[in-house]
Amino acid sequence: MDGLNVDYTTKIPNNVNLGSDRQVLKALEGWHPGYLDWWNDMGPEGFQESLVYLRTAVSVDPKGWAKFDYVKMPEYRWGILLAPQEEGRNVNFGEHLGEPAWQEVPGEYRAMLRRLVVIQGDTEPASVEQQRHLGKTAPSLYDMRNLFQVNVEEGRHLWAMVYLLQKYFGRDGREEADDLLRRRSGDADAPRMLGAFNEATPDWLSFFMFTFFTDRDGKMQLESLAQSGFDPLSRTCRFMLTEEAHHMFVGETGVGRTLQRTCEAMTAAGVEDPYDKDRVRSLGVIDLPTIQKKMNLHFTLSLDLFGSEVSTNAANFYNSGLKGRFQETKIDDDHRLTSATYPVSKLIDGEVKLVDEPALTALNMRLRDDYVADCAKGVERWNKIIEKSGVKFRLELPHVAFHRHIGEFRDVKVSPEGEAIGEAEWEKGKDQWLPSKEDGDFIEALMKPETEPAKFAGWIAPPKVGIDNKPGDFEYVKIAA
Ligand code: BYC
Ligand code: FE
Ligand code: FE
């Protein structure tokens, strides 16, 4: 049964032959109740009894894995789904280049690999925790369904990492799996591991920015881990990436629809100046400069997720064959990087400059560059929406040195244009560059739920097409009284 179709006869749906892997099945079944407790406590608040039109994977075949139906979220069949094993797959980079990919954990890399799996696993439940209050302010049933789809899939991503921990890391793997349910986003004593996953996601514009920018870090990291010489990790990440695409779709179209609605309202009311905040806001839509500020915040929080520009951890991950580069196998070089260099941005005499560093230690920087290029394409698609409406405004990604907490720029204040500035200038500018308390209050006041089919809150345009080709008045969530 290790293959395309998913076995639904065991309690935990899977395509990894859990039925004949009793020990791992038992460990997972032992973890399951704690997971459900966590989901009920920390998952979408107020909607656990509602019927949600969700897709569930029934096969990992690219054409057939999505099946849509109404389910109550706690009854969603979270499964263990790996992309099919590729015959004769090798380690494709680092010291072990050309050796057969590992089906078991190489002893010497055990600790490093476990750490990577735990960090990846930790982000998944964290995002569910961050988003748990959003159901109550959903701008439509369509959006509510998308939120819940993202949430159950992040839950499944946690299962994916827990499977690796329990199958390949024995006792300490089981302890790590328990700890993944113990930490909490934003908790003072037991926070989630990475910075961005302890931030609040207070409103729907944040949610859309998060799924655009932070889930896109997820995409880049999963792409790098999908290159792993540890084959089970690679296969798991390859399947997770198929789900990730929908998360980024939710973010991109969510922001796009917000922009569209703002521009439509401005045009209809004859407001030409996008900076005339009071008039734009009086139309019940989010002014474009505020959307830019939200973008600045979520972009920079996500840049921090790439770690330091120069990192020996990253070099070690690569040398060991555990974590590759974005699209490693498509890159035309030696895949060892023993003598190559890569330009890294650094602060020198108050100016941001590119300095060549050994390519091995610059891998975080390289992945971040690939990420920024991917983000920039999405931002241009947003700009097209604004342009088409005739409104004169452009969104721009801020400089990578702006508002950073990790790496080269964490101790300096830099403007969105990339100029090093003093504390006083920062204080003066920050409310124009990042969402202020007042911006947050305004957006919060707009977040009135819309729960009637076919209706949308006034600050966001309806989508062009429904999910699963459903008509506009489809009841995506049947809210339990
Ligand atoms: N916050 O050499 P450095 C996703 C720590 S998102 C706090 O600079 P390294 C998702 C670091 O751990 C993808 N701490 O960095 C999205 C290290 O600590 P130790 C998640 C940080 O290790 C949306 C020290 O600083 N997956 O899937 O090269 C919804 C020095 O580290 C941070 C992964 O990240 C931070 N931001 O790179 C749901 C993939 N950054 O060792 C899900 C796995 C660094 O001194 N993780 N530190 O104690 C990795 O590959 C790496 O751990 C990182 C950091 C890229 C995150
Ligand atoms: Fe995920
Ligand atoms: Fe995601």
pLDDT, tens only, 214-236:
999 999 999 999 999 999 999 99
127 CB near ligand 1 (under 6 Å): yes
Helix (H) or strand (E) segment spanning residue 81? none
Which numeric CATH code is attached to 18-478?
Answer: 1.10.620.20
Nearest to 247 by CA among 161, 157, 185: 157
Q: Is the pLDDT of residue 59 over 80?
A: no
Which of 183, 221, 403 is the pocket-test mutation for ligand 1 (most atoms within 8 Å of CB)?
A: 221
Q: Which residue's CA is the closest to the ligand 1 atom numbered 15?
A: 307
pLDDT at residue 274 in the model:
98
Compute how many other C-beta atoms are within 10 angstroms of the C-beta atom of residue 481.
Answer: 4
CA distance 298 to 403: 10
131 CB near ligand 1 (under 6 Å): no
Smallest-distance ligand from the CA of 245: 3
CA distance 405 to 411: 8
pLDDT at residue 11 in the model:
82
- H helix intervals, 231-362: 231-269, 277-282, 288-303, 312-319
- How far is the first Cα of the chain from the last one, in angstroms, to the nearest whole number? 41
Scanning the structure block, which residue is given the tokens 């966590």?
38
13 CB near ligand 1 (under 6 Å): no
> What is the biggest distance separating any 2 CA atoms in the chain, rounded to whole angstroms?
68
24-45 pLDDT per residue, tens: 999 999 999 999 999 999 999 9
Kindly provide the b/e burial profile for residues 88-116, where b requires at least 16 CB atoms within 10 angstroms of the residue's own CB.
Answer: eebbbbbebeeeebbeebbeebeebbbeb
User: Measured in angstroms, how far is the CA atom of residue 305 from the centroid of ligand 1?
Assistant: 6
pLDDT at residue 3 in the model:
61
Which atom of ligand 1 is nearest to 407's Cα? 8
Q: Is 354 helix (H, G, I), strand (E, B) or coil?
A: strand
123 CB near ligand 1 (under 6 Å): yes
Nearest to 2 by CA among 320, 12, 14: 14
Q: Is the pLDDT of residue 300 over 90?
A: yes
pLDDT at residue 60 in the model:
75
Look at the alpha carbons of 183, 187, 191, 195 in this order and tell me if their dihedral is positive or negative: positive
Which atom of ligand 1 is nearest to 210's Cα? 23
In the predicted model, what is the mean pLDDT of residues 276-299?
98
The DSSP call for residue 213 is I
In the predicted model, what is the mean pLDDT of residues 7-12?
82
User: Measured in angstroms, how far is the CA atom of residue 215 from the centroid of ligand 2?
Assistant: 7
121 CB near ligand 1 (under 6 Å): no
CA distance 448 to 140: 10
50 CB near ligand 1 (under 6 Å): no
Which atom of ligand 1 is nearest to 193's Cα? 7
pLDDT at residue 4 in the model:
66
Nearest to 151 by CA among 172, 173, 168, 126: 126
In the predicted model, what is the mean pLDDT of residues 474-478?
98
Q: Which residue's CA is the closest to the ligand 1 atom numbered 23?
A: 215
316 CB near ligand 1 (under 6 Å): no
User: Measured in angstroms, how far is the CA atom of residue 211 from the centroid of ligand 3?
Assistant: 7
With contact defined as beta carbons under 8 Å apart, do 151 and 43 qualify?
yes
Q: Is the pLDDT of residue 62 over 50?
A: yes
CA distance 410 to 413: 8
Ramachandran quadrant class, 51 (left: phi over 0; alpha: psi -120 to 50; beta: rest): beta
Q: Which residue's CA is the closest to the ligand 1 atom numbered 5?
A: 307
User: Measured in angstroms, how far is the CA atom of residue 78 from the centroid of ligand 1?
Assistant: 26
Outline where DSSP puts E strands in 382-431: 413-414, 420-421
Q: Which residue's CA is the closest to the ligand 1 atom numbered 24?
A: 307
301 CB near ligand 1 (under 6 Å): no
User: Measured in angstroms, how far is the CA atom of residue 17 from the centroid of ligand 3?
Assistant: 26
Q: In the predicted model, what is the mean pLDDT of the chain?
A: 96
Which atom of ligand 1 is nearest to 123's Cα? 42
CA distance 57 to 381: 30
305 CB near ligand 1 (under 6 Å): yes
pLDDT at residue 138 in the model:
98
Distance set, CA 52 to CA 216, 395, 445 (Å): 25, 34, 26
User: Measured in angstroms, how far is the CA atom of residue 225 from the centroid of ligand 2?
Assistant: 13
Q: Which residue's CA is the closest to the ligand 1 atom numbered 47?
A: 307
pLDDT at residue 324 in the model:
98
302 CB near ligand 1 (under 6 Å): no
User: Measured in angstroms, how far is the CA atom of residue 303 from the centroid of ligand 1?
Assistant: 11
Smallest-distance ligand from the CA of 210: 1
Q: Is the pLDDT of residue 65 over 80?
A: no
355-413 pLDDT per residue, tens: 999 999 999 999 999 999 999 999 999 999 999 999 999 999 999 999 999 999 999 99
Which atom of ligand 1 is nearest to 304's Cα? 36
243 CB near ligand 1 (under 6 Å): no
pLDDT at residue 403 in the model:
98
Helix, strand, coil percentages (3-state) for the chain, rounded to 5, are 50, 10, 40
330-359 pLDDT per residue, tens: 999 999 999 999 999 999 988 899 999 999
Which of 194, 208, 247 is the pocket-test mutation for ligand 1 (most atoms within 8 Å of CB)?
A: 194
CA distance 207 to 197: 12
User: Measured in angstroms, how far is the CA atom of residue 435 from the centroid of ligand 1?
Assistant: 25
CA distance 343 to 19: 50
Q: Is the pLDDT of residue 94 over 80?
A: yes
Tokens at 71, concatenated = 């389910």
Domain boundaries defined on the chain: 18-478
List CB contacts of 356: < 8 A, sequence separation 6 or more.
341, 342, 343, 344
User: Measured in angstroms, how far is the CA atom of residue 231 from the centroid of ligand 1?
Assistant: 21
pLDDT at residue 1 in the model:
41
User: Measured in angstroms, how far is the CA atom of residue 240 from the centroid of ligand 2?
Assistant: 7
Confidence of residue 61 (pLDDT cuts 50, 70, 90): confident
Lowest mean pLDDT among 55-64, 68-77, 378-387: 55-64
Lowest mean pLDDT among 123-137, 177-191, 346-360, 392-406: 346-360
CA distance 425 to 417: 13
